[in-house]
Structure 1
Amino acid sequence: MAQTAPPLPATYADPAKPALPPSSFQWDNARTALVIIDPQIDFMSPKGKGWSIVGESVTEQRLVPHLQQLMAGFKRAGLPVAISPHYYYPHDHRWLHEAPAETVQHKLGMFDREGALTLEGFRDSGADFIPELKAAIEDGKTIVAAPHKLYGPQSNDVMLQLRKQRIDKIVLAGMASNLCVESHLREFLERGFEVVVVRDAVAGPKLPDGDGYLSALVNFRYIANAVMTTDQVVAKLDGR
């Protein structure tokens, strides 16, 4: 059953009457992969350390059900799915300078693991994948990239993995909208990929300092090759 996408904010243009010119983007299943950023307990579960910051947005966007829907669609179509996860090891906590979001993550202990060479304490920790996606992620076919350390993919191998699959079109989803999602989007574009952002399959922080989801949504419209809903992406995958 199709889900109704959340309404766009008042400051976001009516898609039927865009002010910006149309994109040249053309859908092509053979060249497309799904990239999900940080589908981890600390970001997407009420049990996670970041829930007080992002939980409202995760709930509003129905993020987890939409990610399930996307993964099922890509798996059904036989197309690549890649995960760009966020892990912190003990040596990462010895950094000598941090920006605000890094400080919050380190202070809360988000995405913490015992080390790069051990899975001790990993299962069901905040760094582990959410239960709703775990079976699909661990099916032996999903690409699980090395961890990114701040926001973008510059410090992991997700782009190499996608290039090795001859992928140059990316459907982007996950967390957090104005941080890792936007940073991945910008870097992918700079490296020659075309990127679709799934606007109801991303979420962000909500603090007195501002709504990260809404701030990112405006930028997505300006710089992504396309902004779609989950239902629109699944329809494309199914040839509709």
Structure 2
Amino acid sequence: MRIAEIDGPRLHYRIDGNPDGAPVVFANSLGTDLRLWDQVMPILPQEYCYIRYDKRGHGLSDCPEGPYSMGALVSDVEKLLDFLGVKDCVFVGLSIGGMIAQGLAAKRMDLVRAMVLSNTGAKIGTREMWADRIAAVDAGGIEALADPILERWFSKSFRDTPAFWAWHNMLIRQTKTGYMGCCSAIAGTDFITPTSGLRLPALGIAGSEDGSTPPDLVRETIDLIPGSDFKLIRGAGHLPCVEKPEEYAQILTDFLKAQGHG
């Protein structure tokens, strides 16, 4: 386990693959930690340097008092990549991680040469929706909302498997402070204008059963970037890297190879 002591919260990160390879950075979703990517890591090409991290308030990273801003989440990973000496990475962001990807690419083009926006949007939901969720979690804990959240995350067939319960447990053990803090960051974010100004290779990935960021939202977001591509993974919900890891890994591999990364 590695901890980066940066100007801000200490961040837990992990490096897989070839530490001297071209960097590929992963940012995970609200209510999950870097284990989100466990199933795709072994089946990706091992010549790349894969960097995963827990955003503030999640996993083994520090959990400062909220609310958080998207600017703070972007700044955290910016400082992490500077700490690690990373330049010109391919950045893969899922859900709130995809919002972080958009913010980082707009701020530091020297850090991001291409990006994958998975199950995300330039704007997700409304301020009112997120305010209601924050109030419900504050009053009753994440467990009170676990069932509807997990129904949006996963297809019905996956929810009937034993593996589903690991994700259920990960969600309900998430700290309220970190979860509500990141909800506030999403609520205050509208990246439609900055994302439409991006000029870099970009790929959108959606799950056909995603109830949190439906395919149309992902497609509308990735279409803001000229020359981008879009892939739909059928039979998967909000976390296709969990439900369909082989298909997800192949899509990522094809994108990395198409960029001549490394």
- TM tier, smaller: 0.3 to 0.5
Normalised TM-score (structure 2): 0.36
Normalised TM-score (structure 1): 0.39
